[in-house]
Chain A
């Protein structure tokens, strides 16, 4: 068949239609595939109604997705970027569904956000996706109805820069707020129960394209009943006449308020499941044993109750734990059958101590409760027949505890025969163990560990472990058990609680295993203030508009702007702050950040306390004895409030402050003082009802509160300081000697001697020279040393009228280099030959710099190259190019990795410290030569210390080694 023109057109037409159809079909397919499928938004179960759970089916790995972006809004046609979840495009998402929980505060206004509403990249004009909400409090005010908001501001902003906003300046009782501008804070938003929120998810591929968004979904967060406690453990301790309870909290515990422990008669699990569905029925059938606070799971999870009947009375009893959340919703735990045990089963009481963490800025305390704990972590076979093992161990101790020597006794677990006894005098967490010939490695080992140290470690303090063969790892690994004086303590926990001055509650710090003997507790310095946003105000014309959050929603109010009142939109927050804890009267004193309000608050508290005392005193007449006692207690409480406000020295001092700034500073100091003080207790427990509290930290029957100390000197640096001072003295001595005319011999350094010849060569050839200071910054010693040499090279170049090109890597170094070269030209009387364009900034991108320098070398056909300073991978690239253009090259660096490259490709190389010595060497200035000599002698001193240390360590004398700092 002949392919005539008509047929060709037909074929081409058919091909065109086919390709168009394919492209459209493919595009349709791509479009469908790229949308996140099965996107759902549901309420988070067992929460307080402030959380929603988003879930969706992730796109296929072939789509090369790098992140999923979540968008949220209060209406379906305007969703703002909330957060992105990064995904590895190579591996994709392993699970079938992806989840995102919107149940914590999220940023809704921040200084980093744009001030205007911006559509998301690639969104059409009618698109619904936007970038973050704008940093515009007028806009934020429109969201107040739908979110609870929290302001997070720097302390200095809140305390010193807040402006006072009065709701109604003419009202008899002023309602005042602290106002902060948008750029002084970050506003965080929390979902409100019962409100509707809209969401969508967008996948972003490796080409940074935002794929089409998932269909918008909405949901309403609602408060739910809490999850039940997974387990309650009960113990009947007849000899102590006590019932002991310990329980576990569910994962979601932030909304838990109270607990109740109920006693019931034994029943099948099905009956209990039926009964607990109706709490009222439980209340009628069960006996309340104990109740208390949960504090969102931070309060103690154990309780001791006096027995009301004999142990026999509990034979058929079971117990249940009821958890109650802040909304009054409840959940019951499974039933717990008590264990009948005696006091002997209790773990030993913990004796703990609190010490300041040394050498820190004052933000850590150490709670210790045991001697140092040492255990084997793993063993590694060092040869084929497994007769030589490297044993790695870990030593846990506080910074004030010292361990000097450790003995490891290895025994055969089957026969109990001693295999080896090793003494570890240099504690490097590792040692070698040689097993006897023929010992079956797979039998395992038993290791017994004893140690000496300070404070004195008792001789009978023994730790034991079983090292068992692990076929998977093909090594001896420690079993889970840890024996301390023959008792397995691996399932015993030491739980640390702390209490602040102003609160009666003990709060959980951390649960520690028996492998730890101490806990570092962080006590941070206050740097931020967190306050609920009570409203937002802004000016409109000559009115001040205020959106105030009230009980029944957000109320819009307006009033005339006061003269000099600022117009910028602000968030409104409480101006009241905690001030000080009056320990004598056990009263927390509050104040205001505004002087006038602070005085009013102070006066009002005093007047109210006095009035209350007068009223209560009047009520005493005609009251019976019991009522009088009750009234006296109330009077005492009011008197304490009055005394705290009228007699407390800190309060009086602040009241008499010269200015409000001074007063606020005093308030902050007093606030830090009591909020950073805390007392501790340690509870030792098996987690199943056998717990024992440590004695409280008391002095004269008063709790001792600890506050970390900020240390002025790091004790680990005494040796460093001493050595530095010694070196300083040596330098000063040699400088003085050289000033007095003493001459020192300095060995010749070829690279430096050849500088003149290299410059001369460039002059003779009439070609320029290149001076490269590497990519170090001004803070690098190599760069500073290089500047010294540049000064000399520039002088010679100016004398001989040879062009010197200095391309700079760092823009901070460039003006200094320009100044050095300019000075050099002036110094030799050739200011006319100075061209500042020869000393220029090139780039601070490593390989772009190489490309630039290489280009200059080739174009200008350099006669001499100097590479002096700090160099990395670019060194060889530049010197090889220099070599190829036939330049004489002199290099010098303190970067050990680059020295070999310089040696192979350059004519002369200054190795390490020779670079630093160059300036002194070339100047022949006595003072600089003196420092060189001092360096040499100090090196001799260090070498002597190294040799003595090595010899002493060989004889197990480690004093010198441990004296020197490790880093």
Chain B
């Protein structure tokens, strides 16, 4: 019973979405989706978030209690959590408030910093990928050099055919393999959905 009822809910819910995908009817698109499902989803999402916040609070308070390694950092979690909550609840989240100020001047620059690291990691990953250790890796290296050179003026100076070759590499072998993967992904998605609908795949229920 513990597994059967959730399974039934998933199967019935899944079937509703299958019908929804094929039917443009007002009852499904407007009454069910816009008037029932969306408000319900918006209303229930914050409760799930509460779970997340509780989990994080528990984890950090345990760390402090147990004096786990680097437990001092957990105070930063509580401090920033409290300050952000107060700023949001008291001052509001509109532009000009402390909350938005912190978002724009603390979180955004830190996110941008993390993102900018990507450039260096990409260079290091490219170095690993382009080492001509095998025939396949050599093909990759050559293709990469052609495509990279075609992006810069120097490449066009070297040969006027470079951009055409680069575009061909992107449009034909690259796109073909991408589409091959996407085809597999698409079919895999449908198969997984079917497995869930038929009750074959039950991992999302926890265990099993």
- The answer on a CB contact under 8 Å between A728 and B194 is yes
Cα A814 to Cα B206 in complex, Å, equals 11
For B21, list chain A residues within 8 Å (CB): 717
Closest to A943 in B: B183
Q: Which residue, of A732, A904, A928, has the highest number of chain B Cβ atoms within 10 A?
A: A904
For A665, list chain B residues within 8 Å (CB): none
- Is the C-beta of B93 less than 8 angstroms from some C-beta in chain A? no
Within 8 A of B (CB), among A695-732: 710-714, 717, 720-721, 724, 727-728, 731-732
For B117, list chain A residues within 8 Å (CB): 877
Closest to B91 in A: A121
Closest to B127 in A: A904
- Is the C-beta of A144 less than 8 angstroms from some C-beta in chain B? no
Q: How many A residues touch B, CB cutoff 8 Å?
A: 87
For A919, list chain B residues within 8 Å (CB): 201, 203
- The answer on a CB contact under 8 Å between B125 and A931 is no
Within 8 A of B (CB), among A812-857: 812, 814-816, 818-820, 822-824, 826-827, 836-837, 840-842, 844-848, 850-851
Shortest CB-to-CB span from A861 to chain B, Å, is: 11
- The answer on a CB contact under 8 Å between B192 and A208 is no
Closest to A894 in B: B185
Shortest CB-to-CB span from B116 to chain A, Å, is: 10
Q: If A731-B191, A901-B125, A912-B184 touch, does A787 touch B203 (CB 8 Å cutoff)?
A: yes
Checking B49, B188, B206 against A816 with a beta-carbon cut-off of 8 angstroms, the contacting residue is B206
- The answer on a CB contact under 8 Å between A714 and B22 is yes
Checking B22, B70, B125, B201 against A904 with a beta-carbon cut-off of 8 angstroms, the contacting residue is B125
- Is the C-beta of A762 less than 8 angstroms from some C-beta in chain B? no
Cα A713 to Cα B48 in complex, Å, equals 35
For B110, list chain A residues within 8 Å (CB): 847-848, 851
Closest to A820 in B: B206
- The answer on a CB contact under 8 Å between B188 and A880 is no
- The answer on a CB contact under 8 Å between A812 and B203 is no
Cα A927 to Cα B196 in complex, Å, equals 12
For B208, list chain A residues within 8 Å (CB): 791, 823
- The answer on a CB contact under 8 Å between A859 and B55 is no
Closest to A844 in B: B52
Checking A209, A811, A896, A928 against B200 with a beta-carbon cut-off of 8 angstroms, the contacting residue is A928
For B206, list chain A residues within 8 Å (CB): 816, 819-820, 822-823
Cα A910 to Cα B27 in complex, Å, equals 41
- The answer on a CB contact under 8 Å between A880 and B191 is no
Checking B115, B125, B190 against A724 with a beta-carbon cut-off of 8 angstroms, the contacting residue is B190
For B195, list chain A residues within 8 Å (CB): 731, 928, 931
Q: Inter-chain contact count A-B, CB under 8 Å?
A: 202
For A713, list chain B residues within 8 Å (CB): 22-23
Shortest CB-to-CB span from A399 to chain B, Å, is: 13
- Is the C-beta of B51 less than 8 angstroms from some C-beta in chain A? yes
For A121, list chain B residues within 8 Å (CB): 96
- Is the C-beta of B138 less than 8 angstroms from some C-beta in chain A? no
Cα A931 to Cα B200 in complex, Å, equals 9
- The answer on a CB contact under 8 Å between B201 and A913 is no
For B52, list chain A residues within 8 Å (CB): 808, 811, 814, 841, 844
Closest to B130 in A: A904
Cα A711 to Cα B24 in complex, Å, equals 6
- The answer on a CB contact under 8 Å between B24 and A731 is no
- The answer on a CB contact under 8 Å between A714 and B24 is yes
Q: Which of A359-367, A488-496, A537-545, A547-555 contacts B (4 or more CB under 8 A)?
A: A359-367
Q: Which of B56-64, B147-155, B162-170 contacts A (4 or more CB under 8 A)?
A: B56-64
- Is the C-beta of A82 less than 8 angstroms from some C-beta in chain B? no
- The answer on a CB contact under 8 Å between B207 and A931 is no
- Is the C-beta of A900 less than 8 angstroms from some C-beta in chain B? yes
Cα A392 to Cα B129 in complex, Å, equals 42
Cα A712 to Cα B24 in complex, Å, equals 6
- The prevalent SS among residues of B at the interface is helix
Checking A362, A732, A826 against B26 with a beta-carbon cut-off of 8 angstroms, the contacting residue is A362
Within 8 A of A (CB), among B31-78: 45, 48-49, 51-53, 55-56, 58-59, 62, 69-70
Closest to A708 in B: B26
Q: How many B residues touch A, CB cutoff 8 Å?
A: 66
Cα A724 to Cα B18 in complex, Å, equals 10
Q: If A360-B24, A841-B56 touch, does A791 touch B96 (CB 8 Å cutoff)?
A: no
Q: If A208-B95, A900-B129 touch, does A916 touch B191 (CB 8 Å cutoff)?
A: yes
Q: If A208-B96, A361-B25, A784-B196 touch, does A841 touch B51 (CB 8 Å cutoff)?
A: yes
Cα A785 to Cα B191 in complex, Å, equals 11
Shortest CB-to-CB span from A529 to chain B, Å, is: 16
- The answer on a CB contact under 8 Å between A525 and B26 is yes
Q: Which of A172-180, A468-476, A932-940 contacts B (4 or more CB under 8 A)?
A: A932-940
Shortest CB-to-CB span from A632 to chain B, Å, is: 46
Checking B95, B187, B192, B198 against A785 with a beta-carbon cut-off of 8 angstroms, the contacting residue is B192
Within 8 A of B (CB), among A922-948: 927-928, 931-932, 934-935, 938-939, 942
Shortest CB-to-CB span from B123 to chain A, Å, is: 10
Cα A850 to Cα B115 in complex, Å, equals 9
Cα A239 to Cα B121 in complex, Å, equals 84
For A749, list chain B residues within 8 Å (CB): none
For B205, list chain A residues within 8 Å (CB): 819
Shortest CB-to-CB span from A604 to chain B, Å, is: 36
Cα A269 to Cα B64 in complex, Å, equals 92
Q: Which residue, of B23, B55, B178, has the highest number of chain A Cβ atoms within 10 A?
A: B55
Shortest CB-to-CB span from A792 to chain B, Å, is: 9
- Is the C-beta of A465 less than 8 angstroms from some C-beta in chain B? no
For B185, list chain A residues within 8 Å (CB): 894, 896, 912-913, 916
- The answer on a CB contact under 8 Å between A361 and B111 is no
Q: If A847-B115, A905-B125 touch, does A820 touch B207 (CB 8 Å cutoff)?
A: yes
Shortest CB-to-CB span from A912 to chain B, Å, is: 4
- The answer on a CB contact under 8 Å between A788 and B188 is no
- Is the C-beta of A237 less than 8 angstroms from some C-beta in chain B? no
- The answer on a CB contact under 8 Å between B26 and A361 is yes
Cα A94 to Cα B203 in complex, Å, equals 60
- Is the C-beta of A917 less than 8 angstroms from some C-beta in chain B? yes
Cα A545 to Cα B86 in complex, Å, equals 40
Cα A712 to Cα B23 in complex, Å, equals 5
Cα A781 to Cα B194 in complex, Å, equals 11
Shortest CB-to-CB span from B65 to chain A, Å, is: 11
- The answer on a CB contact under 8 Å between B51 and A712 is no
- The answer on a CB contact under 8 Å between A727 and B48 is no
Checking B51, B121, B193, B200 against A876 with a beta-carbon cut-off of 8 angstroms, the contacting residue is B121
- The answer on a CB contact under 8 Å between A784 and B187 is no
- The answer on a CB contact under 8 Å between B203 and A791 is yes
Q: If A880-B125, A935-B191 touch, does A912 touch B181 (CB 8 Å cutoff)?
A: yes
Cα A753 to Cα B70 in complex, Å, equals 36
Within 8 A of B (CB), among A887-910: 894, 896, 899-901, 903-905
Q: If A710-B25, A916-B189 touch, does A847 touch B128 (CB 8 Å cutoff)?
A: no
For B51, list chain A residues within 8 Å (CB): 811, 814-815, 841
For A912, list chain B residues within 8 Å (CB): 181-182, 184-185, 188
For B192, list chain A residues within 8 Å (CB): 781, 784-785, 916
For A361, list chain B residues within 8 Å (CB): 24-26, 29-30
- The answer on a CB contact under 8 Å between B25 and A711 is yes
Cα A928 to Cα B199 in complex, Å, equals 11
Cα A880 to Cα B55 in complex, Å, equals 28
Within 8 A of B (CB), among A773-794: 778, 781, 784-785, 787-788, 790-791
Could you pull out 23 A-B pairs where Cβ atoms are within 8 angstroms?
Answer: A208-B100, A209-B96, A711-B25, A714-B22, A727-B194, A731-B195, A784-B203, A814-B55, A816-B204, A823-B207, A826-B207, A837-B62, A840-B59, A841-B52, A842-B56, A848-B107, A877-B114, A877-B118, A896-B178, A901-B122, A903-B129, A913-B181, A916-B185
Besides the known contacts A714-B22, A819-B205, A848-B114, 8 further A-B residue pairs in the complex with CB atoms under 8 A apart = A359-B24, A362-B26, A811-B48, A822-B207, A840-B58, A841-B52, A912-B181, A931-B200
A-B pairs, 8 with minimum CB distance? A823-B207, A811-B52, A819-B206, A208-B96, A913-B188, A841-B52, A847-B114, A916-B188
